Structure 1
Amino acid sequence: MNIKQEQLISATVPVLRENGVLLTTHFYNRMFTHNPELKNMFNMGNQESGKQQTALAMAVLAYAENIANPGVLMPVVDRIGHKHVSLDIRPEHYQIVGRHLIASIQEVLGAAATPDILEAWTVAYQQLATLMSGHETKLYEQKATQKDGWTGWRPFFVGKKTVESAEITSFYLYPADGGKVMPHIPGQYISIRVFLPELSLYQSRQYSVSSTPTHDYYRISVKMEKGLQLDTDGKISNYLHNFIQEGNKVDLTAPAGNFTLTEDLDAPVVLISGGVGLTPMMSMLQNLVEKEYSHSITWLHGCRSRKVHAFKAELDEITKVNEQVSQYIFYDLLTAVDEQEGVLEGFLDINKIASLPQFPGTRYYVCGPSAFIQKQFKDLVAKGIEKESILFEEFGPALLQLN
């Protein structure tokens, strides 16, 4: 890409800020019209809600703003790359996307999309596609070469289905070929693919692995969604609850994601979760306890009530027998038993925890709904915690810009 083309891309930034979602909405409509088979690969729930269009518009804008130095986007490239690999997205898919994206720019901008601008964006997209697919190739290679690793979709069967709370059920997933699995890194997710009859489509969703790493199986813990107007995400979670039984088969990809415990972790750890956001934290806690982690581990969890609090008995036992582990629980409404056990009332508030670790190097992991993450991030920063010490996992398309 030459300097003139970089300048042309930069000149489109104001247009992208103003009309980015209009462009990406047109793009997805165009692509699914010409390549309807891709509906089996994309999250149609995020299409219905508009989240995917917004996420793509933000990504395109960020790329245009940093066109002269796209390397600064590597943390974003890594996060998206893990998601793409978990969905088995390959280089050939980039070519289809590129064709429809350039055509959409031309159709949305009309006369403003001069031949020079279209050529600049064509070159820019190829540069981005090369960057993304190159990074994803390395991720695929890591999975293919790791012991018991694999790439693409692999059939598994449900070996056990366990109710964890009034809303959350765990599924223990074993390879259908009788083989082993590559242990996940605590905090990672797997993609699961099912056929959704009401859409006549295969749909894939990511679920955090909620068990400690093992070569034998993966455990995911899925929340049952309630209400008459369920979005597609809720329908898939409910499909697992209602129709997937022990012995049934599903397809999985290997573990992915960079919301993880680092190998060189050597400092206090604080886990902050809301609702079903506790699932990756369970894996982290179990792994740290198994390794007899010497630093303090503090877990703050908030949910509506004891009835929907998954893994509570297990967490209470872990806290009881491991003196380095402490937990603080917040419920919306308290019972007499909750009050006796020291449960706190209301939305999770770190300011109510006087003993919250703030030692240098402490790592803070946050997972839950977007509003929950935003509040915890804001409160941690207000306490003087460095942004770089706060890691968060946002379920769904990445829309939060906090770090």
Structure 2
Amino acid sequence: MLNQDQIAIINATVPAVKAHARDITNCFYPLMFARYPEVKRYFNHTNQIQGTQREALANAVIAYAGNIERLEALGDAVSLIAHKHCSLGILPEHYPIVGECLLAAISDVLGDAATEEVLSAWGAAYEQLAAILIGVEETIYEQNQQRLGGWRGERAFRLVDRVEESTLITSYYLHPVDGDPLVSFLPGQYVGVVLHIHGEEIRRNYSLSDAPDKHGIRISVKREPDGVVSNYLHEHFVVGDEIAVTAPCGDFVLDDSQRPLVLLSGGVGITPTMSMLNACVTSGREIIFIHAALNSQVHAFRDHVAELSTRYDNLKSFTIYDQALSGDTPDAKGYLSAELLAQWLPENRDVELYFLGPKPFMQAVSGFVRELKIPETQVHYEFFGPLQELHADAVDMAVSQ
């Protein structure tokens, strides 16, 4: 536990650390990878190049330090991070590595301002945060292991089928090699996959894209232009191949409400909403399924959703294309707007709304739901950047494939 002197030092130095947060994380990652190259497997190289991972760490550190005296405010953020860590296989022994290199980066960037007392206080703060995360992660690991068909660590799965859902997204059907029962995951959760590509171990998270309680699991992967893993899966992962998978994680999951359910997705954000849709379409609950894409060529699961809409009266589906091709017949063309959303939602706005997609899409939707006065407690999303970015007013919205 931090003492009052250490808390005072943290509060006094948060502004300086915040002002240099980007410089600190830019120093931290190369330093850690140089000292401990074995941890590279837990980090997304593309996100490193784009800077999103560094920005996420910087914002997490600042948010934690800024709430050092009211840690209860970090509840949702802690859960989000812990689930991600468990899906990647982060263990307690990894935390001292991060702590050592983070303090070294703070010292390097702040120079003389990083006195022994300052570094000691930030070290104590980091140890406190690490203890919180380790405790939450151990609970998740235990819960995953104790559930019927659950497991801890990695489990071997075999690819039994692959289906092209669009020109960019392919689904992979995976069955456990051991033949034991499969854990009944929650719709909206994701798994981690572990691959060895060109002699390098790489880990990635992918949403589960089908309902639980089946013989296996399905992930649906968008081919990214520079995606090492996505391109490998699209080009080389064939039926009969095996892959290591970590247990399902994530708390972006369906609640028990009987309010009308709105599933709103953009681009590859459709994958977890497909799991939710397939899991509850037979329940009789009113469902409004809305998907935004460029056009029909990149619109995954289009035929499946259309078929469900004809079979189940409780399901209404709408599509919007912003680069429609000749012959495309979406329900609307252009970008999603509050006006369009208002047309497709019940007048009383008493719904449970789940949305996921690229950051510009999520920024726009965040503004729409506020404009339409949907109760905040009935709006659900999973966003891995700074929340202030999500809630920023977006004038233009680009929907990725």
Q: Normalising by the residue count of structure 1, what TM-score does the alignment of the two structures yield?
A: 0.93
Which aligned pairs between 1:4-403 and structure 2 lie closer than 5 A?
Answer: 4-197=5-198, 200-226=199-225, 230=226, 234-262=227-255, 264-290=256-282, 292-294=283-285, 296-335=286-325, 337-339=327-329, 343-353=331-341, 354-357=343-346, 359=348, 361-394=350-383, 397-401=384-388, 402=390
Q: Distance in 1 between matches of 2:94 and 2:74?
A: 21
- 1:268–1:359 CA contact under 8 A, matched in 2: no
What is the identity, as a one-letter code, of the residue corresponding to 1:95?
P
Q: Distance in 2 between matches of 1:334 and 1:43?
A: 33
Q: How many residues align?
A: 388
Q: Distance in 2 between matches of 1:64 and 1:334?
A: 47
What whole-Å deviation, never above 9, does each CA across 1:76-133 have from its counterpart, x for those lacking one?
0000000000011111111111111122222221111111111111111111111110
Identity %: 39
Using the TM superposition, give the Cα deviation of residue 25 of structure 1 relative to its aligned residue in structure 2, in angstroms. 1.5
Q: Distance in 1 between matches of 2:122 and 2:324?
A: 56
Match of 2:382, SS? strand
Q: Distance in 2 between matches of 1:398 and 1:135?
A: 21
Using the TM superposition, give the Cα deviation of residue 334 of structure 1 relative to its aligned residue in structure 2, in angstroms. 3.5
- For structure 1, the 5+ residue unaligned runs are none
Q: Distance in 1 between matches of 2:338 and 2:162?
A: 34
What is the identity, as a one-letter code, of the residue corresponding to 1:257?
G
Q: Distance in 1 between matches of 2:157 and 2:325?
A: 41
Q: Which moved more, 1:369-378 or 1:307-316?
A: 307-316
Q: Distance in 1 between matches of 2:80 and 2:236?
A: 31
Using the TM superposition, give the Cα deviation of residue 41 of structure 1 relative to its aligned residue in structure 2, in angstroms. 1.7
Q: Does the C-alpha gap of structure 1 residues 316 and 215 become closer, same or farther in structure 2, counting only changes over 3 Å?
A: closer
- 1:274–1:368 CA contact under 8 A, matched in 2: yes
- 2:25–2:54 CA contact under 8 A, matched in 1: yes
Q: CA RMSD in A?
A: 1.6
Q: Distance in 2 between matches of 1:250 and 1:261?
A: 28
- For structure 2, the 5+ residue unaligned runs are 392-401
Q: Which moved more, 1:174-183 or 1:250-259?
A: 174-183
Using the TM superposition, give the Cα deviation of residue 360 of structure 1 relative to its aligned residue in structure 2, in angstroms. 6.2
Using the TM superposition, give the Cα deviation of residue 399 of structure 1 relative to its aligned residue in structure 2, in angstroms. 3.4
Using the TM superposition, give the Cα deviation of residue 287 of structure 1 relative to its aligned residue in structure 2, in angstroms. 0.7
What is the identity, as a one-letter code, of the residue corresponding to 2:210?
S
- 1:297–1:326 CA contact under 8 A, matched in 2: yes
Q: Does the C-alpha gap of structure 1 residues 24 and 336 become closer, same or farther in structure 2, counting only changes over 3 Å?
A: closer
What is the identity, as a one-letter code, of the residue corresponding to 2:104?
A
What is the identity, as a one-letter code, of the residue corresponding to 1:382?
E
